[in-house]
Each structure stands twice: as C-alpha cells, then as structure tokens.
C-alpha cells in the first residue's frame, strides 16, 4: 500500500499536493507488519495517510508552507499524528498548505501552489489544499488538515471529497503549529462518511498535553438512510444569496434528497452572520500576531544575521514571512494595541458570543443546519491573489462555525459546469457542539 501511495504521489507530482515524503515511512510500514503478525488488531493497519505540513511528525520537515520553517525538522510528534501511527497508519508525506494556514487557495505556500485535479488552472481551495488533493487525486484514502475558518471544509468542497471540522476540543491541538488557537482544529478528509468516522474515532479524545481538549466519547459511526427519517434540517437563510447557479442547484438537490429520505426541511435566519467574516478576521489576526511572535530567528527555523539582535530579528521576519502573513501580523498587532483594543478585538469577541447564541437558538428548532460550503466552485489560480478581501470572502459560509466552536462537515453535492469543465460543489452541515456523530450519521445516510 505504501509503495502504491508513493507511486501515485510520483505520478501526480505536477499537482504539488505534497511538500515532502516521510523518510521514515518504510520503517513505519515494517513496524506495522510486525505488530499485525504479533496478533495486534489495528484499525488502520498499513493504511497510507498524509498530514498537513503544520502537523509535527518526528524526523519530518514541518514547513507550514513558509520560508521561515523551510529547514525545520520536528523533534516530536503531534498527538493526532501519533494516534494515527498507534492505529497502524503509515504517514506517506506532508501536505502543501497556505503559509501558516492563512488563505483559501493554497497559493501562498513557499513550495508553490497546489493545483486542483479537476482543472489544473484552478485552485483546490485552502488552506489544507494539499491534504484535500492527496485524497481527491488518490494518493491516500484519507488525510489530515486543520480548520481555523474553513480550511478543511472548503478544500473538500472544491475537490469533491468529504471534510470534517470536529467540535472545538474534540481533537488535540498538541503538535499542531498554532495559527489562531481559539479557532484551530485538526480535521480529517476522506472519500466516504465511513472512512471519516473511522479516522475521527482514531484521532479524537482527551489529551493531557492540550488543556482545551474535551473529555467525551470517541467512537463514531456513519449512518444509513433510515437515520434520516424525521431529522429536522434548517437551511440558513443568510447563506442563500450570492451563490453561483450550480451551488444553488446542488443545495436544492440536497434538500430534495433529504426530504425524499423522510427528513423535514425548513429555513432559519441567523442575522449576526453578516458580521462573521469581520469578527473572524479580527480574532484570527490578533491571535496569529501573538502566536507568530515566536519566529524571531532565535529558536525555530530561519535565522538571518544582523548587526544586533533587533536587526537580525527584523531581517529574519522580513525574509521568512510572506506578504499575507506579514499583513495579518500587522493588522492583528494593531487590533490588539491599547486604544484600539476596545474598538476592534473586544467588539469582535462580543459578536462571537452573539453568533454562538444565535446558533444555539437555531438548534432549538432544527437538529442540523445546512449551507453551501462555498458560494462558488474552484476559482482560477491568481484570480483572488491581488485582492485579500475577495480571498477572505471565500470563507463566508464557514468561519462562523469556528467562532461558535461547532462541528461541521462538507459533503460532495454534485457539480457545476464552468467553461465545459465539471467542478465539484459541496454542501455544509452544521451540528450542535459535540454532535459530530450526527453529521457522520447524516452523511452516511445520504451516500
């Protein structure tokens, strides 16, 4: 299986899904074979997986798509990756991503852009574009990404696969390089609800090394069509405007399928969602400015010499960070600075609270909520790179979920034909906190 995955990685090299191959993969596979021979029952015995390049794995490079960490080799393994290894998985390689997970297109990586397998002129979404393409292009059956504002769900939608953002605290963040700690969550990609359930069962669970990790059950299963009967599904009204015709059609077809299976559909309004993008970026950027302060040329990765410490630090950060990362550090620092804190950061935190409250109110009438995952299918490479606000707007349907800490799943929902090319479209289901399994039940029932 490992050889097949490596051969496939080689053949799909032009897609640039992987930043590096794991030099210890063959050794891991041998170890799994010995454990199986010794009678161990491993849920992922020999299954090749890929993890995003912001997840530490001992002895692999963890670049986070940044020049800053080009030469950084992980001295330890993230809990989620360790759980994969314990379950018998073999880590084939590390997946390409937007620099420090900041982006929606996987174009800002120091390793160059990842291409969408459905149309090489288009982006695969981001920031976990490499992890999504690894699965969509058949390198591995499953992979891990991270989702701070949509980075698992949106690339899953744009490449035609499943992607889950678990409830905040479901999966340990130990060893995941921090972008915005109150929003970050590791999530799996797969080609079926069943595989997604298996992967989540393996990576979820409490971790003494992550204080935000929850004590909660960790066995998940995908459902059957019977599970859909009587399920109350609410379409979020605010997500109905501004979508391409193919996205609207896919959502309507999904609702039709749900009703056909006995679910009850209705509409619900969450007015505060109009402020979700603003609140998200005013929380994510300050957290990022603080988290990225550690890249000072002294401890991790790149070190550019200077006349004194200040100059060395300045040069290191100037050369190590790309444009978007620098922009976010500056905006984040500004929003946190005294005199502006109340106007920006503190106000965004209030909006965050309101959004969470409104979701809870919506869940009084509905078991799950539904929206498109993205208002449009995969866009052209370069189309949004010179317009950061247009890039941020790609997350309009996903960021609120992270602000509220909820679980959400993007499922493949059809195609939109653009210029003669079929592009995948995804639909997002959102569940109450800790109801991750309901999403897998639903997705299994729809298959």
Length of the chain: 447
Is 147 a binding residue for ligand GLN by CB under 6 A? The answer is yes
Nearer to ligand GLN, 147 or 397 (CB): 147
CB of 32 to ligand GLN, least distance (A): 31
Q: Which of 105, 109, 143, 151 is catalytic?
A: 151
Residue 388: which H helix or E strand, with range?
A: helix 388-393
* 350 among known catalytic residues: no
Residues numbered 110 to 139 that lie near ligand GLN (CB under 6 A) are 127
The residue whose Cβ lies closest to ligand GLN is 151
CA 194 – CA 221 distance, rounded (Å) = 7
Is 374 a binding residue for ligand GLN by CB under 6 A? The answer is no
Q: Taking CB under 6 A as the rule, which mask of x and - marks residues 387-426 in contact with ligand GLN? A: --------x-------------------------------
Contacts 24+ apart (CB under 8 A), 224-230: 224/444, 224/445, 225/261, 225/445, 225/446, 226/445, 227/441, 227/442, 227/444, 227/445, 228/258, 228/261, 228/262, 228/263, 228/442, 228/445, 228/446, 229/261, 229/262, 229/263, 230/262, 230/263, 230/264
Question: Of residues 48, 65, 113, 149, which one binds ligand GLN by CB under 6 A?
Answer: 149
CA triple 375-381-383, angle to 5 deg: 65
Q: Which of 127, 128, 172, 289 is catalytic?
A: 127
Residues numbered 54 to 73 that lie near ligand GLN (CB under 6 A) are none
| Total residues in contact with ligand GLN, by rule CB under 6 A | 14
Question: Of residues 16, 108, 116, 151, which one binds ligand GLN by CB under 6 A?
Answer: 151
CA 32 – CA 274 distance, rounded (Å) = 49
CA 328 – CA 314 distance, rounded (Å) = 16
Query: Left if phi > 0, otherwise alpha if psi is -120 to 50, otherwise beta: which for 223?
Result: beta
CA 382 – CA 385 distance, rounded (Å) = 5
The residues, any chain, with a CB within 8 Å of residue 377's CB and separated by 6 or more, are 158, 244, 246, 247, 415, 416, 418, 423, 424, 425
CB of 146 to ligand GLN, least distance (A): 6
End-to-end CA separation in angstroms for the chain: 26
CA 325 – CA 341 distance, rounded (Å) = 21
CB of 24 to ligand GLN, least distance (A): 27
CA dihedral (96, 213, 355, 445) positive or negative: positive
Query: Per CB under 6 A, which region of 63-71, 100-108, 270-278, 428-436 contacts ligand GLN?
Result: 100-108
Nearer to ligand GLN, 5 or 152 (CB): 152
Nearer to ligand GLN, 54 or 201 (CB): 54
Question: Of residues 103, 160, 320, 322, which one binds ligand GLN by CB under 6 A?
Answer: 103
Nearer to ligand GLN, 306 or 388 (CB): 388
Nearer to ligand GLN, 188 or 444 (CB): 188
Neighbours of 245 (CB within 10 A): 8
Nearer to ligand GLN, 114 or 146 (CB): 146
Is 109 a binding residue for ligand GLN by CB under 6 A? The answer is no
Question: Of residues 84, 95, 101, 282, which one binds ligand GLN by CB under 6 A?
Answer: 101
* 151 among known catalytic residues: yes
The separation between CA 447 and the C-alpha centre of its own chain, rounded to angstroms, equals 22
Is 289 a binding residue for ligand GLN by CB under 6 A? The answer is no
Is 148 a binding residue for ligand GLN by CB under 6 A? The answer is yes
Question: Of residues 79, 82, 104, 410, which one binds ligand GLN by CB under 6 A?
Answer: 104
Three-state DSSP class for 161? coil
Query: What are the backbone dihedrals phi and psi of residue 366, each rounded to the nearest 5 degrees, phi first?
Result: -135, 150
Nearer to ligand GLN, 8 or 275 (CB): 275
Query: Per CB under 6 A, which region of 97-105, 129-137, 233-241, 426-434 contacts ligand GLN?
Result: 97-105
Nearer to ligand GLN, 77 or 104 (CB): 104
CB of 128 to ligand GLN, least distance (A): 7
CA 149 – CA 392 distance, rounded (Å) = 10
* 127 among known catalytic residues: yes
> Catalytic site residues?
52, 127, 151
Q: Which residues bind ligand GLN (CB under 6 A)?
A: 101-104, 127, 146-151, 179, 284, 395
């Amino acid at each position: 299986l490992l050889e097949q995955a490596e051969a496939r990685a080689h053949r799909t090299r032009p897609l640039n899904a992987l930043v590096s191959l794991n030099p210890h993969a063959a050794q891991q596979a041998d170890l799994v074979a010995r454990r199986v021979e010794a009678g161990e029952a491993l849920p992922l015995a020999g299954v090749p997986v890929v993890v995003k390049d912001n997840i530490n794995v001992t002895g692999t490079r963890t670049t986070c798509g940044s020049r800053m960490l080009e030469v950084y080799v992980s001295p330890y393994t993230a809990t989620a990756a360790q759980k994969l290894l314990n379950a018998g998985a073999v880590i084939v390689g590390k997946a390409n991503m937007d620099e420090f997970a900041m982006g929606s297109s996987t174009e800002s990586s120091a390793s160059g852009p990842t291409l969408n397998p459905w149309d090489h002129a288009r982006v695969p979404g981001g920031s976990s574009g490499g992890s999504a393409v690894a699965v969509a292009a058949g390198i591995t059956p499953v992979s891990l990404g991270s989702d701070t504002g949509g980075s698992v769900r949106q690339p899953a939608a744009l490449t035609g696969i499943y992607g889950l953002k678990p409830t905040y605290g479901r999966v340990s963040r130990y060893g995941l390089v921090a972008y915005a700690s109150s929003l970050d969550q590791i999530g799996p990609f797969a080609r079926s609800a069943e595989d997604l359930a298996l992967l989540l069962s393996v990576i979820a669970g409490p971790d003494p090394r992550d204080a935000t990790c929850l004590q909660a059950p960790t066995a998940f299963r995908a459902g059957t069509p019977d599970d859909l009967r009587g399920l109350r599904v609410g379409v979020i009204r605010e997500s109905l405007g501004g979508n391409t015709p193919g996205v609207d059609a896919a959502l309507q077809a999904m609702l039709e399928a749900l009703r056909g299976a006995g679910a009850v559909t209705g509409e619900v309004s969450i007015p505060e969602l109009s402020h979700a993008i603003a609140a998200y970026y005013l929380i994510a950027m300050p957290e990022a400015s603080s988290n990225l302060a550690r890249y000072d040329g002294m401890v991790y990765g790149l070190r550019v010499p200077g006349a004194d410490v200040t100059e060395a630090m300045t040069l290191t950060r100037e050369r190590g960070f790309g444009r978007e990362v620098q922009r976010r550090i500056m905006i984040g620092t500004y929003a946190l600075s005294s005199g502006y804190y109340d106007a920006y950061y503190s106000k965004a935190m209030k909006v965050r609270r309101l959004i969470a409250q409104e979701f809870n109110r919506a869940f009084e009438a509905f078991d799950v909520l539904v929206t498109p995952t993205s208002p449009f299918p995969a866009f052209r490479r370069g189309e949004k790179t010179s317009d950061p606000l247009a890039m941020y707007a790609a997350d309009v349907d996903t960021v609120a979920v992270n602000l509220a800490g909820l679980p959400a799943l993007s499922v493949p929902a059809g195609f939109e034909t653009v210029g003669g090319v079929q592009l995948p479209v995804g639909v997002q289901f959102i569940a109450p906190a800790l109801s991750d399994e309901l999403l897998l039940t639903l997705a299994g029932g729809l298959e």
